[in-house]
């Protein structure tokens, strides 16, 4: 009887990458059971869920404290599961504070651990790199510059391309089709992206709608489109949008094709900002969290920017409005600068598109599956 592959992810973008690995792993090892922490997407790839991450995925200290009982329960269940001898390997995807505990427990029990998208130790808390080296057999990273940093601390790190390129490849050069998403002829489409977690949406959607109102006063030819990151968020978003009275279309699915037809976007910092850049849509990157969470993050940070396109390029080419700067007036002003200047818009678009070559590689999904095959040889027989 083959041993079980145990996977842990804690938010939508990480789960999308984990699901691709699960699909490829099942194709290579069809008789191997898979279990873990995820949500419906991972379950659709025949992964038996130990817990749904919806109750434990948080941003910042304040939200973590509110959900502490759920987090403790899920962590206890996960660490108990990876202590059993029928686990052949553990695949951790992002979600570092939770996954470090799971990974260290698995390693103590002699179970090989592969980390896909390890924490950004180059950006903050660099001491975690040595910890990562102690409990992992290998790590597959998102950006080329991470390899040297992690290997210096003893991590077996490889870069095989950014997985987002696999996900958006059908749309990289797709013709724009704004009418499909309810953007009327003659109107310019602007993206509103308030985040993928309930806490993010609650914090950012009112601010983005207020910024949209200011923009519409200056540019009457605008129409806004808001991709709904998760079905469970739709009702709350629809209620807030309806109360705004703004011309906003909610979009379910095919957001990458939507992005191809947008003039610009106002987006909460995260993977979606990199999607926008790679698809040629300039964005104003925003983020606001609790005062406590922000102070903790600032005290630990070793970088001057948080937007993934800016980090990947090594240049802060997209505007970032963080914490106290994340106000409707400042967001509207930054977006207005892009909308009113075609040369600026084209320059930002070209810089985003140039990241495609920088982030290409032979394939991160295959790299992860190959590591699992090598480090857990015999477990899948």
| CA–CA separation, 279 and 262 (whole Å) | 10
CA atoms within 13 A on the CB side of 46: 15
Q: Which two tokens stand for residue 75?
A: 């962590």
Say if CB 224 and CB 192 are below 8 A apart: yes
Region of 164 (left: φ > 0; alpha: ψ -120 to 50; beta: rest) is alpha
| Nearest-angstrom CA–CA distance, 188 and 335 | 13
The SS3 of residue 84 is: coil
Eight-state DSSP code of residue 3: P
pLDDT of residue 72: 84
Domain 170-359 class, CATH top level: alpha beta
Q: Determine contact, residues 108/133, Cβ cutoff 8 Å.
A: no
56 CA to centre of own chain: 16
Q: Which of 49, 41, 50 is nearest to 15 (CA)?
A: 41
Contacts of 37 (CB under 8 A, 6+ apart): 7, 8, 9, 10, 49, 50, 51, 52, 53, 56, 74, 78
pLDDT of residue 66: 55
Q: Where are the alpha helices (DSSP H) in the chain?
A: 12-28, 40-43, 60-66, 68-81, 96-108, 128-135, 145-151, 163-168, 198-218, 234-244, 255-260, 271-278, 291-300, 308-313, 328-340, 342-359, 364-375
N-term to C-term CA, the chain: 7
Please tell me the chain's helix, strand, coil percentages from 3-state DSSP, rounded to the nearest 5. Answer: 50, 15, 30
**pLDDT for res 318:** 96
pLDDT of residue 302: 53
CA separation for the pair 123, 119 (Å, rounded): 9
pLDDT at residue 294, rounded to an integer: 44
Q: Is 5 helix (H, G, I), strand (E, B) or coil?
A: strand
The predicted model scores a pTM of: 0.83
Cβ atoms of 153 and 130 within 8 Å: the answer is yes
- The pLDDT value recorded for residue 58 is 52
What is the second-level CATH architecture of the domain 4-161+361-375?
3-Layer(aba) Sandwich (3.40)
Looking at residue 69, its pLDDT comes to 64
CA dist., res. 162 & res. 105, Å (int): 28
CATH 3.40.50.2000 domain span(s) along the chain: 4-161+361-375, 170-359
- For the chain, 381 residues long, the average pLDDT of each consecutive 10-residue run is 93 90 96 94 95 68 54 88 96 93 96 93 74 96 92 95 91 90 93 90 95 97 94 92 94 92 95 95 89 50 74 92 93 97 96 95 95 90 77
- For the four alpha carbons of 47, 50, 53 and 57, in that order, the dihedral sign comes to negative
Distance separating alpha carbons of residues 275 and 327, to the nearest angstrom:
24
Evaluate whether 242 touches 216 at the Cβ level (below 8 Å): no
Residue 365 tokens read as 């999904």
> Quick one: pLDDT at residue 80?
96
């Amino acid at each position: 009887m083959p041993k079980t592959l145990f996977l842990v992810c804690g938010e939508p973008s990480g789960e999308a990458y984990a699901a691709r690995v699960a699909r490829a792993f099942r194709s290579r090892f069809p008789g191997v059971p898979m279990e873990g922490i995820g949500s419906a997407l991972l379950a659709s790839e025949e992964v038996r869920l130990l817990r749904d991450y919806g109750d434990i995925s948080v941003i910042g200290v304040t939200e973590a404290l509110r959900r502490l009982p759920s987090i403790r329960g899920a962590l206890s269940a996960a660490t108990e599961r990876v202590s059993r001898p029928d686990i052949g390997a553990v695949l951790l995807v992002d979600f570092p504070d939770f996954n470090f505990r799971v990974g260290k427990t698995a390693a103590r029990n002699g179970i090989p651990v592969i980390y896909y998208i390890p924490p950004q130790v180059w950006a903050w808390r660099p001491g975690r790199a040595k910890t990562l080296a102690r409990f992992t057999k290998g790590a597959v990273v998102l950006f080329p510059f991470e390899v040297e940093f992690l290997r210096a601390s003893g991590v077996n790190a490889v870069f095989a391309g950014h997985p987002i390129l696999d996900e958006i490849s059908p749309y990289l050069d797709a013709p724009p089709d704004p009418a499909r998403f309810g953007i009327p002829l003659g109107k310019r489409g602007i993206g509103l992206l308030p985040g993928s977690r309930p806490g993010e949406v609650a914090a950012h959607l009112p601010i983005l709608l207020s910024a949209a109102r200011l923009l519409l006063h200056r540019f009457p030819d605008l129409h806004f489109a808001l991709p709904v990151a998760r079905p469970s968020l739709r009702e709350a978003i629809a209620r807030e949008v309806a109360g705004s009275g703004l011309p906003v279309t909610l979009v379910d699915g095919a957001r990458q094709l939507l992005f191809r037809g947008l003039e610009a976007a106002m987006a909460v910092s995260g993977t979606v900002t990199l999607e926008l850049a790679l698809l040629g849509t300039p964005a104003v990157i925003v983020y606001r969290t609790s005062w406590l969470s922000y102070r903790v993050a600032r005290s630990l940070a070793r970088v001057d920017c948080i937007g993934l396109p800016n980090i990947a390029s090594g240049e802060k080419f997209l505007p970032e409005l963080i914490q106290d700067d994340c106000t409707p007036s400042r967001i509207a002003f930054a977006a207005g600068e892009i909308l009113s200047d075609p040369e600026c818009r084209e320059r930002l678009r070209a810089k985003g598109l140039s990241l495609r070559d920088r982030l290409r590689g032979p394939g991160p999904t295959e790299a992860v599956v190959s590591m699992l095959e090598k480090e857990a040889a015999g477990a899948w027989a």
